[in-house]
Amino acid sequence: MEGTPHDGPDLRLDFMGSFIQKTLKLKPEKWQRLLTFEEHKTVIKDFLDLSSEMVLVIQFTQSAQLLPTIKFPLTQLKAKGVYFVKRLPIEVPREDCAFWLISGDLATRSIDQLSCLVDEIFVPLLSNTDNHKGWPEMVAQDVLKHTHSLKSTVYQVNKFLTSFTSISIH
């Protein structure tokens, strides 16, 4: 794949642009504007074409512009963003690129992101008894107990922060 010439439009960019527009509720012009900046387009193409780049994050900045980066932001997002993660360290094929990419949105609050991760990944994974095969019964019960405790704690922190934020705004 690497080093082979490709004719025609890059369908990978169309797929990513469509996902970003739907997720962030943007007009197509925002995505097209991002691609007019060579440095931004290079970041995206490097992610797609280099097997060493595994993650792409596109943030919607305070100035209402899209900004790509090949690492997760280290600071709190001020506005929503999206991410793309490769399933394998390869060049993303132009055909069926959606299969090779995991995509999702990033919340502006870390607790919302954690809550989603716990509810959609950790709890189903760790609560599934099929995943406990070969474990001693006591270990399986302990994992279940801690999984539900984590879910409860994250829920309580999220609820507290949400109520605290709404009180301090008014």
pLDDT computed for residue 169 by the predictor: 52
Q: Is residue 28 part of a domain?
A: yes
Q: Is residue 88 part of a domain?
A: yes
pLDDT computed for residue 74 by the predictor: 53
Q: Is residue 150 part of a domain?
A: yes
Over residues 10-46, the pLDDT tens digits come to: 899 999 999 999 998 999 999 999 999 999 999 999 9
What is the domain range of residue 98?
11-108
Mean pLDDT along residues 82-95: 93
Least confident of 1-5, 56-60, 107-111, 141-145: 1-5
Whole-model pTM over 0.85: no
**Cα–Cα dist 40/67, whole Å:** 7
pLDDT computed for residue 120 by the predictor: 84
Shared-domain flag, residues 133 and 69: no
Q: Is residue 4 part of a domain?
A: no
Contact 103, 55 (CB under 8 A): no
Q: In this structure, how many other beta carbons lie within 10 angstroms of the beta carbon of residue 163?
A: 10
Contact 20, 13 (CB under 8 A): no
Total count of residues recorded for the chain: 170
Over residues 122-165, the pLDDT tens digits come to: 899 999 999 999 999 999 999 999 999 999 999 899 888 777 66
Q: Is residue 6 part of a domain?
A: no
Shared-domain flag, residues 48 and 94: yes
DSSP states along 100-137: HEEEEEE-SSHHHHHHHHIIIIIHHHHH-GGGGTTS-H
Shared-domain flag, residues 31 and 87: yes
Helices 137-169 and 110-117 cross at an angle (nearest 10°) of 150
Q: Which of 21-30, 43-52, 112-121 is the most confident on average?
A: 43-52
Domain boundary among 93, 108, 123: 108
